[in-house]
Each structure stands twice: as structure tokens, then as C-alpha cells.
Amino acid sequence: MTIVKIKQRGITADAVTTSEIAPNTITAADIAPATITTTQIGPGAVAQSNISPAVTLSVPAVTSDPPSPDEGDVWLRTDEKKFKAYLLGTAAWSSAPTPSYGAASWSSNGTSSNSVTSLCGYGSHPRTGGDNGARGNDHLEFNGTSWSNQSNFPYYNSGVSNAGTQSAGIAGGGHGNPAGPNAPIHPSYSATTISQEYDGSSWGSSASLNYAASSMKQQHGHGTQTDNMLCGGWNGPSQQTVTQNYDGSAWSAGDAMPTGSHYVASAGPTNNLLIFSGAYGTASAIYNGSSWSAGPSMSVNRQNECSRMGTVNGPGNTGVLAFGGEYPSNSNVSELYNGTSWASDVALSASPAYGSGDAGHAGSGNTGGGTSTGIAHGGGSPPYPASLSAEYTGQALAVLSQPAFS
């Protein structure tokens, strides 16, 4: 006879043992949530193979650090005889090596502090003379240890856009050189359509910009030589909403910004581009590759030329750092964008190099930790210019190691 149901009160405690239950006759669906506690599981009764998805029940023994650890990961380096853990630290500014001469408003870009490119600083240029002591054709690189002079930009300029890498760069626009032949093309203000590519050793002409523009020194951090987007820039008597894109061979018109502005700072890939500063004030905007939307608000007004560091790598700290934009009140105030919102970050004035009244600086690199850091350089307290430089290390702080054991 088949027993269909036995009432719970008809079974005395411990009357049914595990040996009387056929294998696989009880499924997970038959067990009410939380009816089995850890005290009811005998030691060693659950093996690693019984856990899905797979969970490592011991510290992994490895001979190299994981390439992309998450916060809290722990591992044993058997070759070094060390336990290591990946923990988040505190963001900080520190003094960095300085260029051999000063300038303000560099057009600066780079994926990290060891791969920085800076063009056409504004101010004193003992190496090149500059345009009436103002615009320069200087081209500097920073390798994480020292600054070096590279092939001069083809004409004296300032406010030029600068994207790409030290071996594959793209620069365009700027105030131009009134002496010609690179003459400004707009009657109310100097601006040019000239565009140049860099191959790691020399500059060469590329297609002209889709429209003349200047005041673009902090545009498109981490744009590439074959995928670059410029937003606004000064090209007329009023602030424009125009944008333009470079695909490696030609510049073309892009989707109009929601607010017209020059002095725009931008960073990120062209399918997730963040812009702020200038006429945006405390606002920001995001471009997803086909349309614009309002971005999160910032805590302070950045209506003038804001400095930025580009896209970041590092857990818990992915975003863009903004500093400067309103001299002198907000010149060193920093905010970090984490992909969703802005939050106050460590002020540039915490660095030994910069004081709270300094301005005219530029930012490049990124806001990660370890070797993935950023650089602020140039500017200085009036009168300009100065050869100040400071390094930013983000919250994603490398590995914490225990001393080696025998």
C-alpha cells in the first residue's frame, strides 16, 4: 500500500533517518526556505563540487598577480612566499617631476601618467620663442619619470585639440598663427581648421576640420587617432552646439550638443562621451554614439576652462576627474564621476606643488591606482606661467602584501 501523506505530528523526533530516504527523492523545491541551517550540516558534508556556481574554498596559490583583481581578493604568491590582498586606498595628489620651462593651458592627453602628450602651452617658451611670447609650438611628452621635448607642432598655436597616444596622435584647430600661412579664418576671433596627425616621430597634415574651432585644450581625453570627437569650441561670435568626428581619414559633422559652449572638457569613448565645463556650469551631458542626454550635476560651477583626467581603470573608481574651471574659487576643487554621479574628491591644493589659488593647469592620464595615474601640470599663480606638476593616484590602490615567510 502506498502512503500518500503522513502528518507531521504522527512522526516522533528522529524516527526517520537519512538512511531511510532514497537518494534524490527530495528536491530543492521540497525544502522550505531557511528550514535547514548551518548547524544541521555535518562538517565536511558539503564538498566544493556540491556548490554551484563554483566557489574557491581556499586561497589560490599562484606565481603571478591576477591581471584584474576585485576588491577583497586574496592570493598566495608561492614564488615570493607572500600573501597578497587587493584593497581600496585613499585618492591623493603628490609632487611630480616638472618640465624644464613653464607654460599655462597646455593641450594635454594620455592614457596614464607614464604616457602623457602636451602641445602648445600658452606663455613663456624659451625653447621656441612662441607667438609674441604667448602661443607656442612646443610638444612635450612625460614617461612617468621625466619630461622631454619632441618634434615641434607645425605652427604656433594654443587651444588646440589633442587626442590619441604618443605614437598615434591627432590634433586640430586652435587659435592658429596670425603670421600665416596658417592664418585664422574667422574675422571675430582666431580659429583654424588645420588638423595634424603624429606618428611617433613627426607631424603630417590630415584632412581639415569640419569647422574652425579653438579653446579645445581639454577635449576628448582618451579619444584615438581613428575615433575622435570634438564638441563646440570657439568658432564664432556666439557659443555653438556643433560637434565633429574624425574616423582616421576625414572630419564630418556630428550630432549637435544640447547646450552651445566653447571651453568644453570631455573624456570617454565616442559611444559614452561625457562633456562638462564652459557654458554647462554645474551641468554635464552624455553622448551614447547616436544621441545626447543630460548628465548628472556637479557640486561647483565650472564655467571656464576646466581640467580633466580621462577614463579610468580600477574597481570602485571608474570615471572622470574634473578640477578647475572657475578661477580662483574653484581652481583646485576636484570631483570624480563614477559612471553615474559626481562626488567630491581630494583637492589639488593637497599637493605640495599647487596652492589653492593656482589655475591655468591641464590634466591628462587617468584616475586609477598604481601605475594608472594622472598628471596636472602647467599654470601656476599669476603672473603666469609656471612649470608646476602634480600626480594624482586614485582610490584603486594596488596590492597590500604580507612580508615574505620562510
Task: Write down the domain spans for the chain.
Answer: 90-406
Which grid cell is 244? 565633429
The confidence score (pLDDT) of residue 124 equals: 67
The confidence score (pLDDT) of residue 312 equals: 52
- The dotted CATH code for 90-406 is 2.120.10.80
Q: How many CB atoms lie within 10 A of CB 376?
A: 32
**Rg, the chain, Cα only:** 28
pLDDT tens for the chain, 406 residues long, are 555 555 555 566 666 676 777 776 777 777 777 777 777 777 767 776 777 766 666 888 999 888 777 777 888 889 988 888 777 778 889 999 999 888 888 999 988 888 999 999 888 666 666 665 578 889 999 999 999 999 999 988 889 999 999 999 999 999 887 666 677 777 767 888 999 999 999 999 999 999 988 899 999 888 899 999 999 988 777 788 999 999 999 999 999 999 999 889 998 888 889 999 999 999 999 999 999 999 999 999 998 889 999 765 444 445 789 998 877 778 889 999 888 899 999 999 888 888 878 888 999 988 876 667 899 999 887 777 788 999 998 876 455 666 777 6
Asked if 182 and 125 count as a contact pair (C-beta separation under 8 A), the reply is no
Pick the closest to residue 86 from 348, 328, 398, 299 (CA basis): 398
